[in-house]
Structure formats: C-alpha cells, structure tokens
Amino acid sequence: MGEHAGSDASVTPADLRGERPAWTLRADGTLEPTSRPAAVERPFTLYVNGRELVTIVASPSHLLELALGYLANEGLIARADEVTTRVVDPEAGQIWLHVPGRTISGVELGRRWLTACCGRARATLYFANDADLAPVGPGVRLDPAAIFARMADLEDGPPALRQTGGLHWAGVGDGKRLWVRRADVGRHNALDKVAGWCLLTGRSPAGYAVVFSGRVSSEVVVKAARMGAAWILSNAAPTSLALELADTLNLTVVGFVRDGRATVYTHPERLGVPLPTTLPPPCPPDGPYERGISWRP
C-alpha cells in the first residue's frame, strides 16, 4: 500500500492556533492593545482516483483521518483498506487517495434533499441519498455518571487549544473512557476525523457513544449512524429533524450535557437507570419536536 501521511504525526497545539494582534474594548470606550489566540483553518482539496472531489476548510491536523472519515461518512467506503494509495501534503493543501474499481463523482456528493416517505415505517422526512441507512443495533448501556464523565473527558483538551474558543471537539468511547478525541474548526470535520481514526485503527464504534461539542444537526445523526454508534452525547441542542432521524435510526440523543444536567431526547431505554412511569407524549409529525427527559445525576 502506498502511503505518505505528511506531518500529521508531529502536529502540536501550536500548529492549530496562532496569536493575532487585537484590542480589548472597555465599556467606557477605551481600547487596549493586546494579542489573542485564534484557531488556524486552511483549505484542503481531496482528490480521489486523480479527480478533484471536494475542498474542505479544516484545522491542519489528522488530515488522513479527515479524508477517510469523510468518505466513510458519505457512504463511499466502508473500510480503510479500500484505499490503496494515500498521499497527504499539508503544505500544498492536498490529499490524494486511490480507491480501485470505484467511480466517485463530486457532482452529487454531499448534496442532500428531503423526500416524502411512503407509509409510516420510517420518519416522515429523510435524506433520499441516505435511505440505505439501517437502524443501529441495541448498543451499550450508559449510566448518568458515564455520560457526564465522557463529556468531561471531551472538554478536557489541551489548554492552548481551549483558549482559542474556536475549535469543536468530537470523540468516541464507552462507559469507562474516551478512546479518541479530535479537534477542528468544523464540528463535522472533527467527527469525520474520529471516523477516520476508527477505520485506521480497526476500532469499531458500533454500539458505542459519539461525544460531540456543538449542535446536533441531521447531518451529525447521519454520520453517527453510518459509524454504527448507538449514542450521541452533546453539550448543545439537537435540531428537530436530527431527532426525527435519531428516532428512526435507533440512536439515543442526549443534549445539553453540562452543569450537572442533561436532556435525553430519544431512546432512553439505553440508560442504566429506571425510567419515569410517565413518558413525554409523542409530538405530532408536523409539529415542533420538543419532547425529552431531563435529569440530574
């Protein structure tokens, strides 16, 4: 297998942040010169089988994981060994991959549209080009302590990176620990890097928990489902369509995991605690999705 991974292995926090001159504005209108850290982002163009596929604006780290995870989360590959040549050139902003026997076009890649669903077997709305997704399996059970611990693990990143305030984090883990954590200026990129790590290491995330900083959108649910994850834990809010998809795809979504409290939106049966005897009523299919179970540990 031909492979050149560029400088990924030697990436340090200094590569992901830079100091910028700035001014501190006081309430009295005075300005004070200062310098502030800023998250670094760069464009990287992905070429597959010699053809330009997509340009991703991302943090300049773990670029091979980003590229492989992106292809996997778009449903274009399922295993790392499907890619026989990997060339990553961070300085040139290029990633070259070869996938034998596969014609991949960027015309429809990443383009998702909604379609009405026949019958009631699936959600009222779903992504037409993700219709091949099957509901995930039972997955592991997590108790509240594990949920809060994994979010704390995710947020315990290097101080030099947390100071930028401009990076999202994603990880995957189980009830005992977080296996991997990746940072990026783009939350979807961070999740793609985690998926790429899973492919390269052979560590399957199926049935386990994706831990995420930022809003849980429908695309995040699709990516997690393609990874086979049973859980999405986030310190932020989910969208209504994300929750419709999570219901259909059998994912447990836990949002607002912060300050000793969280909200379980879908499939609470995976929780390692007794459920309330009275559950929230289902929302109407054409109404806002606001149901959930809030609890403190």
- What is the residue extent of each domain of the chain? 133-295
Q: What is the pLDDT of residue 195?
A: 97
Most confident stretch, 4-8, 100-104, 128-132: 100-104
Q: How confident is the model at residue 263 (pLDDT cuts 50, 70, 90)?
A: very high
Q: Please report, rounded to a whole number, the percentage of residues in the chain having pLDDT higher than 70.
A: 75
User: DSSP assignment, residue 282?
Assistant: P
Place of tokens 């560590």: 203
**232/103: higher pLDDT:** 232
Q: pLDDT-based confidence at 75, cuts 50/70/90?
A: confident
CA–CA dist 179, 197 (Å, integer): 10
**pLDDT tens per residue across span 201-234:** 999 999 999 999 989 999 999 999 999 999 999 9
Q: Which of 117, 118, 198, 283 is catalytic?
A: 118
Q: What angle do CA 212, 162, 173 make, to 5 degrees?
A: 30
193 pLDDT higher than 50: yes
Q: What pLDDT score was predicted for residue 72?
A: 94
The answer to whether 86 and 3 have CB atoms below 8 angstroms apart is: yes
Q: How confident is the model at residue 115 (pLDDT cuts 50, 70, 90)?
A: very low
In the residue annotation, 198 being an active-site residue is answered as no
**32 DSSP β-pair partners:** 24
Give residue 117's pLDDT band: very low, low, confident or very high (50, 70, 90): very low
Of 267 and 102, more confident: 267
CA distance 201 to 24: 45
Q: H-type helices in the chain, by residue range?
A: 13-16, 63-73, 144-155, 159-162, 187-201, 218-227, 240-249
Q: CATH number of the domain at 133-295, please?
A: 3.40.140.10
Predicted model pTM: 0.82
The predicted pLDDT at position 97 comes to 96
Radius of gyration of the chain (CA): 20
- Tell me: pLDDT of 43 over 80: yes
The pLDDT value recorded for residue 20 is 74
Q: List 21's β-bridge partners, or say none.
A: 35
Q: Given a cut of 60, is residue 29 above it in pLDDT?
A: yes
2 has pLDDT over 80: no
Contact 164, 37 (CB under 8 A): yes
Cβ count near 39 (within 10 Å): 18
pLDDT greater than 50 at residue 118: no
